[in-house]
């Protein structure tokens, strides 16, 4: 009776792990220490466009583009966590992948378990984000209106566009080294720039600003506070230079 129960539990565990293996959305391979495929799940077949029978016995180096075979994981390359590499489909297409590897016991011998995830969509999203950031950075940097972003807590400049560099006659590095916006902000409506350093604010105001050569500007500006990279910042745009004084 006890032996029958043990066999039942063993079969139940095997069924559970087989179900996980077969239904995983990630490709799973079992390979020996020479890199030969001992087992592969349906997702691995879909990833490479090969049947299970075609994958079994194939060396994993054949599933990787020739110029990326340094990514092939053997027993000496086992690492904690996730690494990125490349897989190749049966029609020669290169696919970026994330790989997790571990040493296991398989059919009474040591083997390597590889979990391989297609990260093509992640790469596309990252590329789209980089391109979007670049477009907005160009819109900021090349905008004819002087603009900057400063941190509300430290009051230091975070970003300054080219029009602001020309207007205030400071370089980008000089703005970055300023201890606070007070270096250029001489006066607002009530005599203090604190009026324009409140969170959750959209404000249109006039202010007196100092330039590097000591001259002053009376300007009309719009300030909008927002959260950027987990900190509250102020986006300031000079909409009009009312007058300039020596």
Evaluate whether 2-120 and 143-245 have a shared fold.
Answer: yes
Domain boundaries, the chain: 2-120, 143-245
Measured distance CA(218)–CA(202) in Å, rounded:
20
Architecture of the domain spanning 143-245: 2-Layer Sandwich (3.30)
What is the secondary structure of 157-180 as a DSSP string?
A: EEEE-HHHHHHHT--HHHHHH-SS
* pLDDT above 60: residue 98: yes
Measured distance CA(113)–CA(100) in Å, rounded:
8
> Residue 107: CB partners within 8 Å, gap ≥ 6?
38
C-alpha distance from residue 192 to each of 8, 79, 147, 174, 201 (Å): 79, 56, 20, 23, 16
User: Among residues of the chain, what percentage have pLDDT more than 90?
Assistant: 59
pLDDT (tens digit per residue) in 150-166: 998 899 999 999 999 99
Taking residues 167-176, what's their average pLDDT? 96
**Residue showing tokens 């979990």:** 115
Class of domain 2-120: alpha beta
Measured distance CA(74)–CA(60) in Å, rounded:
10
* pLDDT above 90: residue 117: yes
pTM of full prediction above 0.75: no
User: Which bin fits 128, alpha (ψ -120 to 50), beta or left (φ > 0)?
Assistant: alpha
Is 200 in contact with 215 (CB distance < 8 Å)? no
Per-residue confidence at 192, pLDDT binned at 50, 70, 90? very low
Q: What are 245's two structure tokens? A: 């004084």
Taking residues 208-232, what's their average pLDDT? 90
Taking residues 167-172, what's their average pLDDT? 96
- The secondary structure of residue 167, as a DSSP letter, is H
């Amino acid at each position: 009776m006890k032996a029958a129960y043990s066999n039942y539990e063993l079969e139940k565990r095997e069924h559970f792990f087989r179900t996980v293996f077969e239904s995983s959305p990630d490709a799973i391979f079992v390979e020996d220490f020479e890199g030969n495929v001992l087992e592969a799940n349906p997702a691995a077949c879909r990833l490479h466009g090969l049947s299970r029978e075609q994958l079994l016995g194939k060396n994993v180096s054949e599933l990787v583009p020739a110029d990326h075979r340094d990514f092939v994981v053997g027993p000496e390359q086992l690492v904690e966590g996730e690494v990125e590499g490349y897989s190749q489909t049966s029609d020669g297409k290169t696919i970026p992948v994330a790989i997790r590897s571990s040493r296991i016991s398989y059919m009474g011998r040591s083997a390597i378990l590889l979990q391989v995830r297609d990260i093509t969509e992640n790469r596309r999203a990252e590329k789209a984000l980089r391109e979007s950031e670049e477009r907005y950075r160009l819109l900021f940097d090349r905008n004819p209106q002087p603009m900057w972003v400063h941190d509300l807590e430290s009051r230091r400049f975070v970003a300054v566009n080219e029009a602001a560099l020309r207007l205030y006659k400071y370089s980008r590095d000089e703005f970055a080294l300023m201890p606070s916006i007070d270096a250029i902000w001489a006066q607002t409506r009530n005599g203090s720039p604190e009026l324009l350093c409140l969170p959750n604010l959209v404000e249109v105001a006039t202010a007196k600003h100092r330039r590097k050569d000591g001259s002053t500007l009376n300007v009309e500006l719009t300030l909008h506070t927002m959260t950027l990279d987990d900190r509250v910042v102020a986006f300031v745009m000079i909409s009009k230079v009312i007058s300039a004084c020596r």
